[in-house]
Amino acid sequence: MDERLPLSNRMALRFHLAICKNCTRFNQQLQQMRRLFREEAAADDDAAGLAPEARQRIETALQKKLGS
């Protein structure tokens, strides 16, 4: 999920997951949650851009600085 565990911990985790149905399910759900969030972010991302007001505000700030 986050980082590679040392071998002994990894074996212990695998063993535990093999006997603990809830933990396996929990693990799957966390992965599923991550996937959904990333999919949503990607879908959202394609459409996103600066709002016209924000663009105008930034433009004004830039002009002010350029002129000074």
Query: Closest CB to other proteins among 10 and 25?
Result: 25
Interface with other proteins includes 11 (CB under 8 A)? no
Interface with other proteins includes 9 (CB under 8 A)? no
Alpha-carbon distance 46 to 30, whole Å?
A: 25
- Whole-number Cα distances in Å, 16 to 11, 21, 24: 8, 9, 9
CB atoms within 10 A of CB 23: 13
Interface with other proteins includes 12 (CB under 8 A)? no
Query: Closest CB to other proteins among 7 and 48?
Result: 48
Alpha helix (H) ranges present in 1-68?
Answer: 7-19, 21-47, 52-67
Interface with other proteins includes 5 (CB under 8 A)? no
- Candidates 5, 11, 12, 58; binder of other proteins (CB under 8 A) is 58
